[in-house]
Amino acid sequence: MSLNILLWTPEALEAATGGTLVGASRAVTGASIDTRTLQPGDLFFAIRGEARDGHDFVRAALDKGAGAAVVAADHAAEFDGPVLSVPQAADDPVLDAMRALGRAARARTQASIVAVTGSVGKTGTKEALRHVLSAQGPTHASIASYNNHWGVPLTLARMPEDTRFGVFEIGMNHPAEIVPLTAQVRPDVALVTTVEPVHIEHFASLSAIADAKGEIFSGLAPGGVAVINRDNPSFSRLQAHALASRAGRIVSFGEHPEADVRALRIVLRPDLSVVDAVVMGQPVTYQLGTAGRHTALNSLGVMAVIHALGADLARAALSLAGLRPPVGRGERTALRLPDGEVFLVDESYNANPASVRAALSTLNGIETGARGRRIVVLGDMLELGSASEAHHRDLAAAVEANGVDLVFTAGALMRNLFEALPVSRRGVAAATAADLVEPILKTLRPGDAVMVKGSNSIRMGRIVEALKARYATPARRDSAATAAS
C-alpha cells in the first residue's frame, strides 16, 4: 500500500532497525511483503514465508520501483539496488526488522489506537471503525485481514506519523498469539466482539478461547479502555482479563440490561438496519447501511469505541448509514438472467458455525421473487476439532429455521450437513467448490436469492466469480450483512 507522502527517511529506517542502507535509497512511501501488489516507493521486506524466501523476489521488487529492500546481512551483496541490510540476530532478521519498524511507528505517533479481536465480526467491526473515524480525521487501519504475526507489524510500519486514529485487527488460532501483537500495537482501546468455538481444535475448551481473546487487554496503554460484549456467555471471563490489565475502565455493549452501550430496539430490513440505543446514558438512533442482527449488535461495540476515544458520537452515527460490507463478507450483487434477476450474497471469505448461522438469518430476511427460492452454498468449516462433524450436521436446524429451500455443499465435512437435510432441501454435494459451479448455474432461476459461504481455503469465492462472470450486471449492488469470521 503505497502512500503519497514520505513515510520513512533513510536515517529513521537505520535507527529503527539497526540496519545499514547500501546504495542510494528512493523515497519510501509505503511498505510491502508481496511483489504482486507492491507499488513504487514501497519498502520491500524480504521475509521468509512457509514455502518461499522473500530474498528470491528482491530483484523483482527493485525493478518495480521499491524504495528499498530490507534484506538479511548475508544477502546484501547479492543486489545492486538500494537495500537495507539488517543484522542476523534472529531466526528471520527481516521479520524482526519489520517488527522494529512497527514499534518505531507506534512510538512516534500521537494517534489514538484501537485494537479489535473476536471469534466473529472482527474484520467487519474494524472496517466500520475505519469508516466512521475516517470522517473525523486521518485514519490508518489494517487492510483485508492483516491480523497475524506479519500483518500487524506490516500495518504498523505503514502508519503515517500524522495519523489521528489507528485501527488494528488482531487474530489468533493458538493460545498466546495475541500477546506479542497487542504489545506491538499498545492500544488505547481494545475491543472483543464475541467468543465462539472457532479454531476450537487448538484449544481445550471455549473458556480457553476466551482466555486467548482476553490477551488483547494485556497490551492496553495505562488507563486504556476495554470494550466487551455483555451478551456473550464469556463476558465474565473477559472482564477478569481486563481487570488484570492496565485498563482504566471497562465498557460493555449489547442488549443486556446492564450493558453500558445498549440496544433498546433493532429494526431489521432486507438491506439495512435501524438501531435505537443508549450510549453511556445518551440516547442515539442511527441507520446501518448493512443488514443483519449480528452487524447491528457489533455496531454497538463501534459506538462504545467512539465514545471511549472521545470522538464525535453524533457524527459517527450519521456515518454508519454509508457503511458497506468488506469483500467476501456480505456484498450483494444482482445477477441478470435472460428472463429475470437472481440476488447473490457473497459471504465467501470465511466460515464458522456462528457466522454461518448469522448469514443464514440474514438470507432469511431477503425477499425473493414470485417463484424464487433461498439457496445456500456452503463449504467446509475448518479447525473445529473432534466435534467438527457434529458442528456441520447441527447446521441443519438453522437451515430449516431460516427457510432455506435448497442447499449445495462443498467438501467432506459439509456432507454431514447435506445428509442431515431432508431430500427436498438437497441440491448437490460435491468434493470441491469448483465442482459446484455448473450445477448451480443450471439450477438458478429468476427470483432466487443465493448465498455462498465457506472457510477461506475451500475457495468458495470461485463460485462467486463464476456467477458474476456469467450473469453480473451493474444494475444494482446493495450492501449486506457483515458476517466476518
CA distance 355 to 226: 24
Quick one: pLDDT at residue 324? Answer: 84
Element (H, E) at 273: strand 273-279
Distances (CA, A) of 169 to 12, 190, 261: 26, 10, 21
Cα–Cα nearest to 100, from 12, 5, 4, 190 = 12
The model's pLDDT over 292-351, given as tens digits with 9 standing for 90+, comes to: 888 899 999 999 999 999 999 999 999 999 998 777 788 888 899 988 999 999 999 888
Cβ-based neighbour number of residue 113 at 10 Å: 25
pLDDT value for 339:
87
Domain positions in the chain: 10-95, 109-322, 331-471
The structure's pTM equals 0.84
Class of 109-322 in CATH: alpha beta
User: The C-alpha cell of 418 is what?
Assistant: 447435506
CA dist 292 and 481 (Å) reads 5
pLDDT at 473 over 80: no
Measured over the CA atoms of residue 155, residue 156, residue 162 and residue 168, the dihedral's sign is: positive
One fold for both 10-95 and 331-471? no
Topology of 10-95 in CATH? 3.40.1390
Q: What is the DSSP string of 381-435?
A: PPS-GGGHHHHHHTHHHHHHHTT--EEEEESTTTHHHHHHS-GGGEEEEESSSGG
d(CA 387, CA 389): 6
Inform me whether the pLDDT recorded for 370 exceeds 90.
no
pLDDT tens column, 232-287: 999 999 999 999 999 999 999 999 999 999 999 999 887 789 999 999 999 999 99
Q: Which fold has domain 331-471?
A: Protein-Tyrosine Phosphatase; Chain A (3.90.190)
Q: What is the pLDDT of residue 472?
A: 66
454/456 Cα distance (integer angstroms)? 6
